Each structure stands twice: as C-alpha cells, then as structure tokens.
C-alpha cells in the first residue's frame, strides 16, 4: 500500500488549513453560501436532509487497519456509530456537524486520509479492481498507476472547476471488475508487440440521465505518456464541455456530439502540441510507484483440511462458495466480508464492525483491506488454513452473510432517507426485497444476479448496469419506481432497458418476485444466466407477467 | 462581462491601480483612443486594428471571454502585451485551461489577466495556471486574494503538479529528477 511522505502530508495539511479558513469565513458570514458551495464540495462536504454529509476518499479502495480504527473513532465521536461504503469505494459519514468537520479532517490527516475531491465538479477518487494485485488474470498491477493519477489529479489547478464531475477508473486485468466503460475515462493496462506497457483508453462513459458506455479513443498509450494524455483529454473537456445545462455537462455528451473520431483527433492534437519532457513519467518514477505495491511475504501453506471443514459444516461451505474467491498464489484466497446483513442498509458498517475488521485484517491479511464498488469489504490475502477461523470471527459481527454476488448483495444509495437529491427512498425497498429472498438455497439456485437501487436519476447505485435495476421517481409527490432489466457490468457492460410504467412502492417487491419467477420458469438450464435468458426471451414476457398482477 | 470602471489589480504580487482601460464590445463604434492611455480591446476590434494600431500609444492588450476560441490569438501573442480572460461565473473554469494553453501552446510571454466573476479563493490556482494579474472589482476581494496568494506560496511549492511555468510529474522532484 502507498505510504505518505512529507510532500503528501504537506499537501493534505495545507488543504485542511485552507478549508478551516474557508469554513471560518463561511460561519462568520464573510463567505457567501454560493461561493462556499464549490469550495466545500471539493472537500467532500454536502449539505443533506438531516445533517451535512462528509465523504472521505479511499484511494482505489485501499485501507489499512490503522485507518479503519481512526474511521471507527470518528464515527463514534462525531457520527452515529456507523458509516457507509459508497459505490465508488469511498466512505460516507451521514450525521456530522458542520462545526466538527475541520476536527474530523485533522483526525483523518493523522492517518494520511482526507476528503479532497470526493465531490464537486472536479476529478474524483480514482477507482480500480478490488482484486488488484491478487487476481490470477492480471497483466499488471493497476495500483501504482492509480497512485500516480491520484497525486496528479489532487488539487490540480487547471481542473478544479470542470463543467461537471469527472471519474477515472484503471484496471490491469483481462476481466473488468471496475466497470471502466462507465467512467469518464477508463484505462486498461496492456502490452504492445514490443512488450512496452501502456493503456487502452476509453472516454465518455457514465450513468445518470443519459447512460452511455465509453468509447475506445486510443488502443495503446505508452505508460510514460499517461499524464500528458490525461491532461489533453481534460483540457479539451474543460474548454469545450457544455456548461449551460447540468444534464448535458459530462464529457460523454461532448464525445457524443463531436463524434468519437473528432473528439479523439482534438485530444491527439492537444496532446501533440503540448508534448513536453516534464510531463513524461520516467521508468524510475513508475518503478518507485510500483515499489509500494510489491507482494507481501506469502508463506506456502498446506490446506488439506479445507474440504473436510466444508463437508462437516454446510454453513461454512456456503460462505466458502459465495464469499471466497481464488487467489493468484496457491494456498491463499480472497475473502469478501459482506456488508449486506439482512435488515440493514447495504454498505453500512458500524464502529464495532470497523474495529473488528481491522483486527481481522491484522490477524489474517497483512493489515490491509479494500472497499469495493459492490459496497463490501475485501480481505485480499487470506491463507486457506485461516479461512475457518476467519469465518467464525466474521460471523460474530454479522460480516459473513453468505450472499456475495447473489440477488441480495444489493447495491443501494442512501436514497430519500438521507439524500436531498433523492426522489424516493431506496433502503426500505431493499429491505422489502431482501425479506422475500431469505431462502439461501433459492438464492443460490438463481446464481449470480445483480440488483441495484437508486433513489434518483443521479444513479449513485448504478441501477442501469444491474441485471435488475430499480430507480426511484417522483410522481406528484408519491414515491414511484421504474424497473430496468438486462444491464450488465464488466466485459459485457450493457445498459438495462426500462420494463414499463413506474410502480408504486408497495408493488415493487412483488414485481421483483414476478421477474424472478419468470426467469426460473423459462431458463433453459441452471447455467443460463438471467441476462442471457432475458435477451433470449425478450422484454414482453417479463413485462406481461409483472403488469398482469399489479 | 461587466467589469467595474476602475478595477483593482493584483499584479506581480502587489495590489495596484489598473492602467489598462477595458473597452466593451458594444462601445467599439464610438471608440477613439486617447493619447497616453493603455487599452484592452475586444478581440475582433484588436484584429481589425492590427498590426499598425495607428492612434494608439502602444500595442493595446486584448480581451476574450472564457468560452471564446483561442485559435485567433495566434496572431495576437506576438504583439499584445496583455491578454485578459473574462470569467462569466466562478463555477466556469474554462479560463484556467485557456491561460494554460496560451502559455503552453502559444508560448505567450506577456501578462495574462483574469477579470469578471471569480473568487479570491481561486487566486492561487489562477496564478499556477499562468495568470499574472487579477482584476477585482472591490478592495476587500483584492485584499483577501492578496493574502491568500501570500499564504499559498508554500502550497504551490508543496504541490504535485507545480505550475504551468514549472510543471512536474508527482514523483519527479522527490526522486531528484
């Protein structure tokens, strides 16, 4: 994991001091609400329904046990004993007081954390593959490049007042586990014929009101040219992106209106004419960034008794099947600690759980964890021989719900319960659906299936890319929900299609049950995934079933 | 863009009066230069009077809006002593990229000035993007921006990117490149 040096600390401390001054001027009435807005947003501070919300940056999802304990301390001292993992791997505090924010930032800075650029029209936290460094299909570890981008984009003077927010994702594996095509810029590490490391560059993806998949604008960008090329993309966007309409301000709209060829050409021209040695990354720099992500000291272990343990304990076996994934090193596994306990809001994690996770990380996974886009926590380096003990201990704190990847591993925004932007609540809808799918055997029979619930068109839960997506809409002051089917993430990213007219809140659980029944009745075999069946069967079959009964 | 008649200016780190008079786009018909006065002209007017600028005391400066194309400035950069960039709204950061492009792409050596609607809190970023003077319409804003620029001197030094004049990659300096 990256370790801060003096410069990193100075950057964060300077920003905390600057923000403290801005906050003081705001509270004294010397800084207007309007002027304070972009300044506080750039520091992760929203004004929410009940209290301000502070979003803490978790760079590409990496957290140390020490950082987890500090977050726990902050939740206990300044919030209501819990926090929320977002769909972009960050952490949200939903109940902080405005006057406490500077003190919270000081505590974060003490463990090399901050809230810089977690909101506002600027370059946001760079996200990545939650299995970075441990996936068997990885070409190159993306994290050193994420860290370089993190630093380059942090307080970049040219790109703090963009037309709209800007999100970058980087992967280093064949399989896309970070939905790069749904980002403003998606980068995939690759090698060219000469063995040089570089990136495939996608631009113009995003969800919201106009969901779009990104387009490939450069099939091979040498790694040394990364920052110069990113700057060229951002500059073309900052100069030509629309500012007259918030809903047409993302880079996807610019790429779409210019056309991919013309946009690429403008980027290329901008890049070529400002090409400079100062912008080039040297091998020395890249190696230095890599040095922070070298492999931990793996020790080979004999795990013969794992099968035996699984046979003897069906519950453990279920958890092993759903929440444990292979690791590139024999004898190790990747473990998902589920934050989808029945009856709780997806992604919420309590102070006690945070401390427990820190303990587990220290005991079993080199004192590091990752937050995931799926709103869970991953322990990336667990010895097979430790799995049983880990499971027992995770279970004590409700962190072992064996449902990772199933229908009830729901991704859900805070929704109308907390968020000012929301048109409808999302958490109660999730609870209703969860309660209908408590039979684990039935859930497992459905296989991998994604459900995502957004409380408004800002689509924080990314409902468009869910197999079953639910979107809260406002109909004359009533909470209604639109259902989309057939969305997918990763290598086959696809935007789901609206099933039909939106439904009232009390009908949405029934609708999901009817959709699942239709799938079960018509799938060709247990191996035919939901989206495959949906594409084969067509929308109408599902639509008729859902609307016949409501 | 409606700047005040006599803006206060921060130039080279000092607050001073502005010697450049900005001519509005709708005032060019009746405009006659007075001897000894320095002017900032709208781009079309500047291009129409170039290159001899008869009647002017010296080469006038030029002003554009943040969303104007910069390509016509190719002819301007060699002659204009000042290029002023108007901010229509402090949320509109296109001016940051225009100033950077003037420096990087066009090699402009003169004064790059910000005017219009921007925040004192943006002054340090404006400076790092190549703005060498900032025109404020009131003294309180100019003074706040001045003090923020003073205290941000070390923050510029302690940054990952440096400035458009002295750019760097994040690890370059730390590795002694």
Asked if A243's CB is within 8 angstroms of B90's CB, the reply is no
Question: CA of B36 to nearest chain A CA: how many angstroms apart?
Answer: 36
* Residue B163 included in any domain: no
* d(CA B93, nearest CA chain A) in Å: 5
**Is the pLDDT confidence value at B12 over 70?**
no
Is a pLDDT exceeding 60 seen at residue B5? no
Chain A residues with beta carbon closer than 8 angstroms to that of B98:
239
Residue B170 lies in a domain: no
Q: What percent of chain B has pLDDT over 70?
A: 93
Asked if the structure places residue B80 within a domain, the reply is yes
Report how far residue A314's alpha carbon sits from residue A306's, in angstroms, rounded to the nearest whole number: 12
SS3 A498: strand
Nearest to B168 among A18, A162, A278 (CB): A278
Q: Which domains does chain A have, with CATH numbers?
A: 6-110 (3.30.70), 134-291 (3.30.413.10), 305-396 (3.90.480.20), 411-549 (3.30.413.10)
Spacing of C-alpha A534 from chain mean position: 26
Q: Tokens at residue A350, please? A: 């309590």
For chain A, list residues with pLDDT below 50. none
pLDDT surpasses 50 at B2: no
CATH, residue B116: 3.20.20.70
Domain span holding position B73: 8-157
Residue of chain B minimizing CA distance to A237? B94
Residue located via tokens 């209703």? A432
Cβ-based burial of A194 (10 A; exposed 0-12, middle 13-18, buried ≥19)? exposed
Mark yes or no for CB contact B90/A5 under 8 Å: no
pLDDT at A550: 56
B165 close contact with A: CB closer than 8 A: no
**Residue A94 to residue A82: CA distance in whole angstroms:** 9
| Distance (Å, whole) CA A280 – CA A260 | 25
User: Looking at the domain assignment, is residue B40 inside a domain?
Assistant: yes
How many domains does chain B divide into? 1
Mean of the per-residue pLDDT values of chain B? 88
pLDDT per residue as tens digits for the range A506-550: 999 999 999 999 999 999 999 999 999 999 999 999 999 999 865
pLDDT of residue A450: 96
Rounded CA-CA distance A401/B153 in Å is: 52
The C-alpha of B100 sits at a distance from chain A's nearest C-alpha, in angstroms, of 8
pLDDT tens for each residue of A41-61: 999 998 766 778 999 999 999
| Pair type for strands A185-191 and A168-171 | parallel
List Cβ neighbours of A213 (8 Å cut-off, separation of 6 or more): A181, A182, A205, A493, A494, A495
Q: State whether B172 and A282 contact (CB < 8 Å).
A: yes
| Nearest CB to B97 within list A152, A158, A288 | A158
- Rounded-to-integer distance, Cα A346 and Cα A448, Å: 17
B contacts of A276 (beta carbons < 8 Å): 104, 167
* Assigned domain for B98 exists: yes
Termini Cα distance of chain A? 52
**Does residue B1 have a pLDDT over 50?**
no
Answer yes or no: do A161 and B97 touch at CB < 8 A: no
Answer yes or no: is B89 within a domain: yes
Query: Are B76 and B62 contacting, i.e. CB atoms less than 8 angstroms apart?
Result: yes
Helix (H) or strand (E) holding A410: none
Contact criterion met (CB below 8 Å) for A460 and A450? no
Q: State how far the Cα of A150 lies from the Cα of A147, in Å rounded to an integer.
A: 5
Region class of A93: left (phi > 0), else alpha (psi between -120 and 50), else beta: beta
* Size of the A and B interface in Cβ pairs below 8 Å: 113
d(CA B34, CA B48): 18
Instruction: Read off the pLDDT band of B7 (50, 70, 90).
Output: low
Given this model, what pLDDT does residue B4 score? 42
- In three-state secondary structure terms, A511 is helix
d(CA A62, CA A213): 26
pLDDT tens track for B91-140: 999 999 999 999 999 999 999 999 999 999 999 999 999 999 999 988 88
Tokens 């427990």 belong to A356
Residue B63 lies in a domain: yes
At A3-37, the pLDDT tens digits run: 999 999 999 999 999 999 999 999 999 999 999 99
Residue B162 within any structural domain of the chain: no
SS3 A448: coil
Alpha-carbon gap, residue B34 to B18, rounded angstroms: 16
């Amino acid at each position: 994991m990256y370790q801060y040096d003096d410069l990193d600390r100075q950057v964060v401390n300077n920003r905390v001091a600057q923000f403290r001054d801005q906050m003081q001027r705001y509270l004294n009435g010397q800084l207007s609400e309007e002027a304070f807005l972009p300044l506080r947003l750039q520091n992760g501070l929203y004004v929410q329904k009940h209290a301000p919300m502070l979003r803490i940056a978790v760079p590409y999802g990496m957290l140390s046990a020490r950082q987890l304990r500090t977050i726990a301390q902050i939740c206990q001292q300044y919030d209501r004993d819990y926090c929320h993992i977002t769909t972009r791997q960050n952490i949200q505090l939903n109940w902080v007081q405005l006057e406490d924010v500077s003190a919270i930032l000081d505590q974060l800075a003490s463990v090399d954390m901050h809230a810089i650029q977690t909101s506002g029209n600027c370059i946001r936290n760079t996200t990545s593959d939650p299995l970075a460094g441990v996936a068997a299909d990885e070409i190159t570890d993306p994290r050193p490049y994420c860290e370089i981008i993190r630093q380059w984009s942090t307080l970049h003077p040219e790109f703090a007042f963009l037309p709209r927010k800007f999100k970058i994702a980087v992967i280093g594996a064949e399989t896309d586990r970070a939905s790069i095509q749904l980002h403003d810029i998606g980068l995939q590490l690759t090698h060219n014929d000469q063995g040089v490391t570089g990136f495939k560059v996608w631009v113009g993806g995003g969800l919201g009101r106009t969901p779009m998949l990104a387009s490939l604008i450069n099939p091979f960008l040498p790694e040394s040219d990364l920052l110069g090329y990113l700057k060229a993309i951002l500059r073309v966007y900052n100069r030509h992106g629309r500012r007259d309409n918030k809903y047409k301000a993302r880079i996807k709209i610019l790429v779409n209106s210019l056309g991919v060829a013309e946009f690429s050409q403008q980027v290329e021209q901008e890049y070529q004419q400002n090409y400079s040695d100062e912008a080039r990354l040297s091998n020395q720099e890249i190696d230095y960034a890599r040095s922070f992500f070298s492999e931990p000291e793996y020790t080979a272990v004999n795990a013969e008794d794992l099968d035996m343990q699984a046979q003897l304990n069906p519950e453990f076996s279920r958890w092993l099947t759903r929440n444990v994934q292979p690791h590139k090193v024999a004898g190790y596994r990747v473990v998902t600690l589920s934050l989808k306990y029945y009856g709780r809001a997806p992604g919420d994690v309590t102070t006690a759980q945070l401390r427990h996770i820190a303990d587990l990380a220290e005991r079993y996974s080199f004192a590091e964890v990752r937050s995931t886009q799926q709103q869970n926590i991953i322990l990336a380096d667990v010895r097979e021989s430790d799995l049983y003990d880990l499971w027992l201990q995770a279970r004590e704190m409700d962190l072992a719900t064996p449902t990772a990847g199933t229908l009830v591993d729901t991704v859900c925004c805070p929704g109308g319960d907390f968020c000012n932007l929301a048109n409808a609540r999302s958490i109660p809808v999730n609870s209703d659906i969860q309660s209908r799918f408590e039979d684990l055997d039935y859930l497992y029979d459905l296989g991998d299936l994604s459900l995502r619930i957004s409380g408004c068109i800002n689509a924080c839960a990314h409902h468009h890319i869910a197999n079953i997506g639910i979107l809260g809409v406002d109909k004359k002051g009533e909470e209604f929900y639109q259902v989309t089917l057939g969305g997918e993430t990763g290598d086959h990213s696809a935007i789901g299609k609206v099933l039909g007219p939106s439904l009232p809140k009390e009908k949405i659980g029934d609708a999901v049950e009817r959709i699942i029944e239709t799938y079960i009745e018509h799938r060709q075999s247990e191996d035919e995934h939901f989206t495959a069946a949906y594409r084969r069967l067509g929308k109408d079959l599902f639509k008729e079933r859902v609307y016949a009964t409501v | 863009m409606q700047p005040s008649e006599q803006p206060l200016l921060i130039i080279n780190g000092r607050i001073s009066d502005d010697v450049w008079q900005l001519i509005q786009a709708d005032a060019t018909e009746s405009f006659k230069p007075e001897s000894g006065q320095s002017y900032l002209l709208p781009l079309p007017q500047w291009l129409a009077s170039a290159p001899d600028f008869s009647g002017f005391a010296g080469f006038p400066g030029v002003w554009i809006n943040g969303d104007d194309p910069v390509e016509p400035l190719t002819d301007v950069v060699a002659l204009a002593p000042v290029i002023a960039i108007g901010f229509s709204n402090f949320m509109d950061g296109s001016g940051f990229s225009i100033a950077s492009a003037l420096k990087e792409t066009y090699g402009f050596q003169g004064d790059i000035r910000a005017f219009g609607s921007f925040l004192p809190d943006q002054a340090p970023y404006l400076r790092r993007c190549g703005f060498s003077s900032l025109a404020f319409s009131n003294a309180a804003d100019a003074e706040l921006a001045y003090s923020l620029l003073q205290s941000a001197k070390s923050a510029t030094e302690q940054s990952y990117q440096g400035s458009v004049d002295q750019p760097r990659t994040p690890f370059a300096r730390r590795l002694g490149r």
